[in-house]
Chain A
């Protein structure tokens, strides 16, 4: 048999074998994402225009878009929705800050001291396994229908991932690093601050990322169950009015807020854990 029977080999001189990537895997990211969105919206439009589903259950994309523009206009022109968003944002920021403060402190206690690991951690694990949303009525009974009960619930939900992340981070330092610090005559405090905490930053940020999602869920759940004047209340009212398009639009703006929070954490992680580029790349 001669080379002539292999037509591909003749055209590319010495190249006899090259890696083949299917066209499906070669679609650029932007095209792939846009394509998927178009297909999704097309099916959505089709389902609603055929009249398979009532608009109360599923409004058409154009109807939803109308609501998105309306809510956007209302927010930009300082309409009644802006104070609601502002309130929810305040709850979010306060809850996240509290969760970081409490979570980090408890995390250091659990990760650094034997007492914390033996006595505190079991209780934390027990609390963490409980469905935390079920505590909402208790927080409302204790703290009322104002901002406090929402903050309490969101903080409660967001604290645990930070505790776990911080404690895991403090255990991340290997034996060599500990030994090196010991030979340098470092105190326990120095070892903690100069070595264990920086080493554990990636794990801490993993906890922070999980918490940033949880804190949003906590604030909105709090508003659903405890009333008030926040964005969650707007959603609840719209859904009571069977205004599903409005609900969709409000959820979209909320998700932008959540995305911004998450993005902020990622940005901070890149700044602080600058030596670990890989983790930042995967997360983004």
Chain B
């Protein structure tokens, strides 16, 4: 079933290009002798949205750090766009639970910060128009010269999305990006995230605690189990795009949620 449903999302005659490929990636923390990650295989195809879900401490943060080039794996290969990942790269965009905008910079200056760091101030200034276009994309038109202290939590995360997109990354790594927001804002931001990903044909990888968030956003959900962290189930989400919040009440959505929940250790998500 998984193969046929996946085909449905790929335009006919065009095979989705693999962007990110992990082969037998494992991670053992030598000092404490903890195997955080078993053997993980993962392929992200261009324009796909995948999520990994699991209890706290199941290794999903370790996986994300390896994918971001922040931590080296103990073994296995990590390839992005055909080149091995050996450190932070400009074609990896990352977003965290906290927006981490810097209060002494305006929204616009925060957004071009990755350019400033990699290419200098002049290059960053040259990208101001692009940054303004991104602000418009995320619905923050006219907020260029506003300082972060004047932004709400949701607005700050929108600006963080812009900062992630400014380097035009091949892959977006999202580490529970909206979990610090209230539930209403979070639902709304998830729909916004979908809109932005569809508009940019972005390849995205989300780490989350929330089953419904994983289902509503993803094409594929990987269920992870701890000690050592490994994928125990891959669930293809065959809900049509674009997804809407109304889908949450459909029987199909409920069935998918139930299926994922069945693979998770109950109690871990209380």
Which A residues contact B (CB, under 8 angstroms)? 176-177, 179-186, 190, 194-195, 198-199, 274-276
Contact = CB atoms under 8 A, between A and B. Distances in A.
Given A183-B92, A185-B88, A176 B114 contact: no
B104 A275 contact: yes
B147 A176 contact: no
B109 to A, nearest CB: 11
B92 A194 contact: no
Nearest to B101: A180
A182 B70 contact: yes
B94 A183 contact: yes
Interface string B114-132: 1011100000000000000
Main secondary structure of the interface of A (DSSP, over half): helix
Interface residues of B, number: 24
Contacts of B117: 181, 184-186, 190, 194
Most buried by B among A184, A186, A199, A274: A184
A198 B88 contact: no
A198 B102 contact: yes
A106 to B, nearest CB: 24
Given A177-B102, A179-B70, A194-B117, A185 B96 contact: no
Contact of A176 (B68, B90, B98, B118): B98
A185 B94 contact: no
A199 B104 CA distance: 9
A150 B68 CA distance: 55
A183 B164 CA distance: 10
B70 A180 contact: no
29 contacts: A176-B96, A176-B97, A176-B98, A177-B100, A179-B96, A179-B100, A180-B94, A180-B96, A180-B100, A181-B117, A182-B70, A183-B94, A184-B88, A184-B113, A185-B87, A185-B88, A185-B114, A185-B117, A185-B118, A190-B117, A194-B116, A195-B102, A198-B102, A198-B104, A274-B104, A275-B103, A275-B104, A275-B148, A275-B149
A185 B86 CA distance: 12
B227 interface: no
